[in-house]
Amino acid sequence: MNLKTATEIGKCLSNQTRVQIMEWLKDPEKHFPPHETLKHFNDGVCVTYIKEKAGLSQSTISTYLTNMEKCGILMSTRHGKWSYLKRNEETIKAYINFIS
Amino acid sequence: MNLKTATEIGKCLSNQTRVQIMEWLKDPEKHFPPHETLKHFNDGVCVTYIKEKAGLSQSTISTYLTNMEKCGILMSTRHGKWSYLKRNEETIKAYINFIS
DNA sequence: CAAACATATCTATAAATATCGATATGACAT
DNA sequence: ATGTCATATCGATATTTATAGATATGTTTG
């Protein structure tokens, strides 16, 4: 982990909704309904569900998630027309190691 | 640690200089000259030294440090006319626990 | 291939943050 | 008490970020 990446992660974690998204994704079963098509949460949660939970516009949430993926704290998997997001614990660990 | 505090800490860590300050304060001996009056780094480093190292104005650095103290990641001790800043590992640990 | 749906990107504006100079406050030394 | 030094706060402006609507792209389904 270098200074630049750490700062980008800090920016992602400088907004209440984005911090909440990170919290929600710790335990998707607890915070999101099961997806109609995919029956599991192995790859996380789709953009629409996160958008509904957060109560912000689709474009705003999409931007959030894109940036969170860019700096590495989230990872996304496409399943058909849906994008699933989950926490990237590797990067999170590296970040924690950097600041502690 | 609650959502609000975690977000405030995220804001502090969303700027390159502030992240660097946190890094520098991990090992003051390595990054700062010994203070003329105080011979030790037990309470950290004074504002002026941090300002000089960062290369920003006194008012900017003072604002940074005040906010970093408010959210708990730094703690300050007055020794005469100097304010010494050091990391508050307790809060940092709590924050890490919150996001991991 | 057209329609429908999910997500991403673009563009614009509102809101928040960054940064500094000026000034105020607090602490020591004379 | 006054001058000096260290730090804090205020006020103003520049820059960045937030946010959403519109539009584009990609994917499935009929």
Query: Tens digits of per-residue pLDDT, A48-76?
Result: 999 999 999 999 999 999 999 999 999 99
**Closest alpha carbon within chain B to A18:** B7
Nearest one of B94, B53, B52, B59 to B73, comparing CA atoms: B94
At a CB cut-off of 8 Å and minimum separation 6, what does A27 contact?
Answer: none
**Closest alpha carbon within chain A to B19:** A7
Q: How far is CA B82 from CA A50, B34, B59, B93, in A?
A: 48, 14, 15, 27
Which residues in chain A land under pLDDT 70?
none
**What is the β-pairing status of strands A45-46 and B45-46?**
unpaired
Q: In the numeric block, which tokens belong to residue B88? A: 């508050």
Residue B27: which region, alpha, beta or left (left: phi > 0; alpha: psi -120 to 50)?
beta
* Furthest CA-CA distance within chain B: 41
What confidence tens digit (pLDDT) does each residue in B25-41 have? 999 999 999 887 877 88
Question: What is the residue range of A60's domain?
Answer: 3-99
Protein-proximal positions, strand C, CB < 7 A: 5-10, 17-22, 26-28
Say if the Cβ atoms of A16 and B3 lie within 8 Å.
yes
Q: How far is CA A9 from CA A14, A34, B5, B61, B83, in A?
A: 9, 29, 17, 22, 29
Nearest one of B98, B16, B73 to A10, comparing CA atoms: B16
Say if the Cβ atoms of B14 and A23 lie within 8 Å.
no
The predicted structure's pLDDT at residue B37:
81
Number of structural domains chain A divides into: 1
Which residues in chain B land under pLDDT 70?
none
- The CA-CA-CA angle for residues B58, B63, B67, to 5°, reads 150
Whole-number Å distance between alpha carbons of B68 and B73: 6
**Chain B nearest CA to A68, separation (Å):** 13
Q: For residue B91, what is the domain's CATH number?
A: 1.10.10.10
- The CA-CA-CA angle for residues B14, A68, A27, to 5°, reads 110
The predicted structure's pLDDT at residue B8:
98
Is A81 near chain B, with CB under 8 Å? no
How far: A81 CA to D27 C1' (Å)? 5
**Facing B92 at nearest CB: one of A23, A93, A100:** A100
The predicted structure's pLDDT at residue B39:
77
Whole-number Å distance between alpha carbons of A7 and B28: 21
Whole-number Å distance between alpha carbons of B48 and B54: 10
Is A93 near chain B, with CB under 8 Å? yes
**Closest alpha carbon within chain A to B3:** A16
The predicted structure's pLDDT at residue B38:
78
CB pairs under 8 A between A and B: 60
**Which one-letter DSSP state was computed for residue B40?**
-
